[in-house]
Chain A
């Protein structure tokens, strides 16, 4: 009995399947939107740091038979710093994966917080890049952007992006420290000084750089606190008036993209400084090599910083560093 019902069910199901599978939908090419429309993507990753750029790609198009694009503009809620511009070239990627730019208008003009490109060629589609150089007044605030374009038909479209939080931290790149000359580093100033200069600002000196090649010991390039035990100064004389107690913790594998500018997609952000706990750290970091780093905390805990080692040179006895610093 069961078998009979089962067979009937199978037969019905098979017929049903046959009918469904034979049903064919006629495919038709989707009709393109001929109205003026636009879209934006943000190309930069990581925290938004004052002095660095935020990059966007702004695409706009309308039906070619209807007209052409007349202008494109970007309005930032806070005026960009010098260097902010909207590309007057439309970019596309060729078969080799290269970005190819085609001039479509006059170079952009920035008036207050609006950057505008007037098109000079008859084109119905373009992708322009916008580089917003983050100004000092945006530090710790959020920024929004309104991308707009107009067409010869009188149509105007807009696209909102953001808000984007601008980091509180500061950044300084490629500072060269040298063993017997410029070896006194100030976190507050993010600058390196020689001894005479350091004596003018003793309370601001947080780190001393030294290079020592000690047989059998991994020392070489070191950053030490001015108050470090004499053993770690290895004969270097630090004026007694320079005596800040800085906490230093060596780091490895933290090649911050902004500082290192290498292939690593790692970023040190404000939050890292806010949550950093190096109270048990020592007051020295020895055997620093290229791509190493060190977390720093000043004696008054006013500043926390991440120092990245870009390069070391044993012959010249120098170390090139880049730094991100956060004021607590």
Chain B
């Protein structure tokens, strides 16, 4: 009987202390020790969920820019950007709908927030359209 009591006390102690070791942010996401903060990949999808890129996006993690060339004829009003981020990082604002990239002179911006939620880096997405007669 004593043995069971000891095990129970240890278990309660372990679970009871859980919240202090694994804090979560306002989105319910885990806050970790990671301070890395960058975009590792970028995709841009059309309404048919196919890519509109002509080649891989160029991501400059120092200048915090993403340069992407889209196919000639792409409808810039309804595109869905997809960011691949470093582990534990998150994006602000969240992408919950189609995004309008029509005004290519004013690049759209998203902020990457590190896993420890202390580092923030804003990336600009620069769109260029493939030329008809290159």
Interchain CB contact (< 8 A) of A286 among B49, B50, B73, B100: B73
Interchain CB contact (< 8 A) of A252 among B49, B72, B73, B134: B49
Most buried by A among B50, B73, B77, B130: B73
Q: Which of A51-59, A61-69, A211-219 contacts the other chain?
A: A211-219
Contact B48 A214 (CB under 8 A): no
- Name the residue of chain A whose CB is nearest to the CB of B47: A249
A217-B132 contact given A232-B73, A280-B78, A286-B73, CB 8 Å threshold: yes
A281-B78 contact given A217-B72, A217-B130, A286-B73, CB 8 Å threshold: yes
Interchain CB contact (< 8 A) of B75 among A217, A218, A282, A292: A282
The CA-CA distance from A219 to B130 in the complex, in Å, is: 12
Give A171 Cβ to nearest chain B Cβ, in Å: 22
Any B CB within 8 A of the CB of A284: yes
The CA-CA distance from A231 to B72 in the complex, in Å, is: 11
Contact B48 A292 (CB under 8 A): yes
A280-B48 contact given A217-B132, A232-B73, CB 8 Å threshold: no
Contact A250 B46 (CB under 8 A): yes
Give A320 Cβ to nearest chain B Cβ, in Å: 19
**Within 8 Å CB of B130, what residues of A?**
216-217
Give A279 Cβ to nearest chain B Cβ, in Å: 10
Interchain CB contact (< 8 A) of B98 among A214, A280, A282: A280
Which secondary structure dominates where chain B touches chain A? loop
**Within 8 Å CB of A282, what residues of B?**
75, 77
Contact A216 B134 (CB under 8 A): yes
The CA-CA distance from A24 to B130 in the complex, in Å, is: 80
Give A212 Cβ to nearest chain B Cβ, in Å: 11
Q: Mark B46-90, 1 if CB is under 8 A from A, else 0.
A: 111110000000000000000000011101011000000000000
Give B93 Cβ to nearest chain A Cβ, in Å: 19
- Name the residue of chain A whose CB is nearest to the CB of B78: A280
Contact B78 A219 (CB under 8 A): no
The CA-CA distance from A292 to B72 in the complex, in Å, is: 18
Any B CB within 8 A of the CB of A253: yes
A231-B47 contact given A217-B72, A280-B98, CB 8 Å threshold: no
Q: Mark A210-240, 1 if CB is under 8 A from B, else 0.
A: 0000101111000000000001100000000
**Within 8 Å CB of A218, what residues of B?**
71-73
**Within 8 Å CB of B49, what residues of A?**
252-253
The 4 A-B pairs with the shortest beta carbon distances in the complex, nearest first, are A252-B48, A282-B75, A280-B77, A250-B48
CB-defined A-B contacts under 8 Å, sample of 28: A214-B132, A216-B130, A216-B134, A217-B71, A217-B72, A217-B73, A217-B130, A217-B132, A218-B71, A218-B72, A218-B73, A219-B72, A219-B73, A231-B132, A232-B73, A249-B47, A249-B48, A250-B47, A250-B48, A251-B47, A251-B48, A252-B49, A253-B48, A280-B75, A280-B77, A280-B98, A280-B100, A284-B73
